[in-house]
Amino acid sequence: MEEKVWFKNWFNSPYYHLLYANRDDAEAAAFITTLVDYFKPNPNSKMLDVGCGRGRHSRQLASYGYDVTGIDVAPENIKYANQFATPQLHFEIHDMRQLYTARSMDYVFNFFTSFGYFNSKHEHARALHMMATALKKDGILVLDYVNSEVAIQQLVTKEQKQIRQINFTIERWHDNTHLYKRIDVEDPKKGIALTHTEKVARFSKEILSALLLQQGLTIKSVWGDYQLNSFDAGQSPRMIFYAQREN
């Protein structure tokens, strides 16, 4: 059962946010600034942030005046994000495998590997179908995914961290289809010991390209980092697709 819903349980956990607190607003702001400078969106643009987490990218997009909606499967993420809601910034609980809206968004974003968690190719295709369906004609999708080949080259197989007197033991490994990360959490004050295993599909550029093309999208560029340099399979840390719905 845990394998099927690991992302719902783990992303909803306070320990997840404690462990990944270094994913700060400055990092999100820099990437959003780069994207805004590149695309120069119309001031009236409507944007959807899929798998928005606590909304760090959504908030940055809204700061430019765009109408932004962030969706995430974890209720605690949306509860946290909603403290920043404004008439131009909205957050909703939503599973990306289910259709959300049709032909209403100028931009759809999926940041920081907020995709690839599911057990089947069909589920991944459904998520991409939701993103493609949300776009207006000429709408743009930006899908930001890990380059698994470089992640494996740089893999730290085991490490331990202590954050606010909570102990984290992290183990990483891979097989032909997925990257895995097992996190053991020990919270002595609360007498809590638990384990979560993250599982992310190893998509190549060719496979992800094919999945996007199946949704009727045209791939315009594939970037390899947050500075929008060209993708290099052997060196780029990220695999960022810029795709467009042309009908």
Task: Tell how far CA 173 is from the center of its chain.
Answer: 20
pTM (two decimals): 0.92
Please indicate, yes or no, whether residues 157 and 97 belong to a single structural domain of this protein: no
Q: What is the pLDDT of residues 112-126, one digit of tens each?
A: 999 999 989 999 999
Query: Do the Cβ atoms of 203 and 148 come closer than 8 Å?
Result: yes
Which candidate, 119, 115, 117, 113, places its Cα nearest to that of 132? 115
Tell me which residue range forms the domain holding 104.
2-146+204-245
Please indicate, yes or no, whether residues 19 and 84 belong to a single structural domain of this protein: yes
Instruction: Judge whether residue 111 has pLDDT over 80.
Output: yes
Q: What is the pLDDT of residues 27-79, one digit of tens each?
A: 789 999 999 999 999 999 999 999 999 999 999 999 999 999 999 999 989 99
| Amino acid in the structure at residue 190 | K
pLDDT for position 218: 98
Please indicate, yes or no, whether residues 161 and 49 belong to a single structural domain of this protein: no
Please indicate, yes or no, whether residues 58 and 159 belong to a single structural domain of this protein: no
3-state secondary structure the chain: CHHHHHHHHHHCCHHHHHHCCCCCHHHHHHHHHHHHHHHCCCCCCEEEEECCCCCHHHHHHHCCCCEEEEEECCHHHHHHHHHHCECCEEEEECCCCCCCCCCCEEEEEECCCCCCCCCCHHHHHHHHHHHHHHEEEEEEEEEEEECHHHHHHCCCCEEEEEECCEEEEEEEEECCCEEEEEEEEEECCCCEEEEEEEEEECCCHHHHHHHHHHCCEEEEEEECCCCCCECCCCCCCEEEEEEEECC
> Which domain CATH number covers 132?
3.40.50.150
Instruction: Judge whether residue 146 has pLDDT over 90.
Output: yes
Please indicate, yes or no, whether residues 131 and 171 belong to a single structural domain of this protein: no
**Number of structural domains found in the chain:** 2
pLDDT for position 21: 73
Please indicate, yes or no, whether residues 123 and 219 belong to a single structural domain of this protein: yes
More confident residue, 124 or 4: 124
